[in-house]
Amino acid sequence: MNPFIGNRLYIDLSSGEIRIEPQDPVFSRKFLGGRGFTSRLNYELNPKELDPLSPDNVLVIAPGALSGSPAFSSARFVVGTRSPLTGIFGDANGGGFWGAYLRRAGFSTIILRGKADKPVYIRIDDQAVSIHDASHLWGKDTHETTDLLQAELGKDFSVAAIGPAGENLVRIAGIVVDKDHLAARCGVGAVMGSKNLKAIAVRCTRPFPIADRERFLRNVARLRELEVDDARLKDFSRRGTLGTLMDHHTILGGTNTMNFQYGQFKGKEKIDGEALIKQYLVKTTGC
């Protein structure tokens, strides 16, 4: 259904052009959303020989197909681009409310290219999209940037921002959503910085469009019943991704050690989930 598919948002930061187009339903059914969208569009739009920090590198952002819906564990979004860290395609995914807000604002994809003449941020208020000066935000960390933008725009905006690492093109820089949620991998924050893009702030007022809401919610409830007693899920909640998956990957020989010369790390017990809990844990929060 067209409302479910959502729109594509094209932004050229060099020219300031903003264009909204309907998402192709055939494309949507084939690639679904999130990593499917970002991978395919990078394959189509980014040529083989490309400097990841050049204005020509396209940054694609896509929430998952169910982001913004009442389905649990569905709020994530994916950022895909040519990675400045590796020189090949890379992506990162983040949590929080930002991806869900973007989806409910009516966008299933953002395609960013070019480079602004000065620092800017993008404001998305449902289908109203605009580019604004961010000179007063440049040099601020992600917490300060979030506070300043929410003071300027309103607390109901969710903010995805880069800090000084992204501004200075550090090749491992990430994108931080609402202070606590990080799209961390592959240097996606450096690509934002190379475009002079400090942040994207999103607000939505519309509900997620569901063709048969009652049936959808029944199925969500059934899945939740299955998950609530799952010991693995409880372990994720207690120890986090590192604690659970490091054990799993160690057994499989899939712990990336010395650029995968080895599949196990002998010092695992010094840095695994149990070690972090004993030495550093203050409180837990959802990712």
Q: What's the one-letter identity of residue 262?
A: Y
Per-residue confidence (pLDDT) for residue 244, from 0 to 100: 81
Per-residue confidence (pLDDT) for residue 254, from 0 to 100: 92
- 147 backbone φψ class: left, alpha, beta (φ>0; ψ -120 to 50): alpha
Determine contact, residues 81/58, Cβ cutoff 8 Å: yes
pTM above 0.85, yes or no: yes
Task: Find tokens 């649990």 and name the residue.
Answer: 72
Determine contact, residues 52/82, Cβ cutoff 8 Å: yes
Of 178, 173, 162, nearest in space to 96 by CA: 178
The count of residues in the chain is: 287
pLDDT in tens, the chain (287 residues): 555 678 999 999 999 999 999 999 899 989 999 999 999 999 999 998 999 999 999 999 999 999 999 998 888 999 999 999 999 999 999 999 999 999 999 999 999 999 999 999 999 999 999 999 999 999 999 999 999 999 999 999 999 999 999 999 999 999 999 999 999 999 999 999 999 999 999 999 988 888 889 999 999 999 888 877 777 777 877 888 777 888 889 999 999 899 889 999 999 999 888 898 899 888 877 76
- Which string of DSSP letters, residue by residue, matches 147-211? HHHHHHH-TT-EEEE--HHHHTT-TT--EEETTTEEE-GGGHHHHHHHTTEEEEEEE--SPPP-T
Per-residue confidence (pLDDT) for residue 236, from 0 to 100: 79
Per-residue confidence (pLDDT) for residue 287, from 0 to 100: 67
Residue 155, C-beta contacts closer than 8 angstroms, at least 6 positions apart? none
Residue ranges of domains in the chain, CATH in brackets: 2-203 (3.60.9.10), 230-280 (no CATH)
- Which strands sit side by side in the sheet containing 128-133, from one edge to the other? 128-133, 120-125, 197-203, 158-161, 175-177, 181-183
CA distance linking residue 199 with residue 148, whole number of Å: 11
